[in-house]
């Protein structure tokens, strides 16, 4: 049944193509990584604490984020939490960069 095979192949290619459109593991170059680290400590740190142990905003330590999903954390970072002081950062950060910050927080910021 070459037709079915062809269909499956086209579907697979389409799927891979789609996946490639949302590469949340995009490379962040060293310069941007430095800027993001600076942003995290200076700006996020002003509310979440310089070591992310909490302040006006909650702790963002690896333990505190253990049970949270990447997708929810990215959404909060990009869009903020309405009705709270947590602002959205999508004017400054891409989705990849928000994910990069989530990964950094999961590693721990000292
Ligand atoms: C003006 C203060 C303020 C700044 C600046 C700020 N936050 Fe927040 N953030 C908050 C508050 C307050 C909350 C809790 C919102 C709520 O009540 O759900 C929060 C919540 C969060 C959460 C969700 C935590 C959880 O357990 O639900 C994440 C993740 C987060 N902030 C990341 C960041 C990052 C990353 C930055 C910098 C790019 C940042 N925040 C900057 C005040 C701030």
Q: What is the pLDDT of residues 1-36, one digit of tens each?
A: 567 666 766 666 665 555 555 556 668 999 999 999
Give the Å distance between the CA of 32 and the centre of ligand 1: 21
Query: What average pLDDT does the segment 38-44 reach?
Result: 97
Distance between first and last Cα of the chain: 59
Which alpha helices (H) appear in 1-110, and where do they start and end?
Answer: 2-21, 30-39, 45-48, 62-65, 70-79, 95-107
* Site to substitute for ligand 1 among 39, 41, 44, most atoms within 8 A of C-beta: 44
Query: What average pLDDT does the segment 38-49 reach?
Result: 97
Residue 110's pLDDT is 75
Helix axes 95-107, 30-39, angle to 10 degrees: 70
Residue 105 burial (C-beta neighbours within 10 Å; 0-12, 13-18, 19+): buried
Residue ranges and CATH numbers for the domains of the chain are 28-107 (1.10.760.10)
Determine if ligand 1 sits within 6 Å of the CB of residue 59. no
Q: Residue 58 has what DSSP assignment?
A: P
Task: Please write the tens of the pLDDT for every residue from 59-109.
Answer: 999 999 999 999 999 999 999 999 999 999 999 999 999 999 999 999 998
């Amino acid at each position: 049944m070459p037709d079915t095979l062809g269909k499956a192949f086209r579907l697979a290619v389409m799927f891979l193509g789609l996946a490639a459109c949302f590469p949340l593991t995009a490379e962040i170059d060293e310069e941007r990584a430095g800027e993001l680290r600076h942003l995290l400590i200076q700006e996020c740190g002003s509310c979440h604490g310089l070591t992310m142990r909490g302040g006006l905003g909650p702790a963002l330590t690896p333990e505190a984020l253990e049970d949270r999903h990447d997708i929810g954390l990215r959404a909060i970072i990009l869009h903020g939490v309405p009705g709270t002081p947590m602002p959205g950062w999508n004017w400054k950060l891409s989705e990849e960069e928000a994910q990069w910050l989530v990964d950094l927080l999961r590693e721990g910021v000292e």
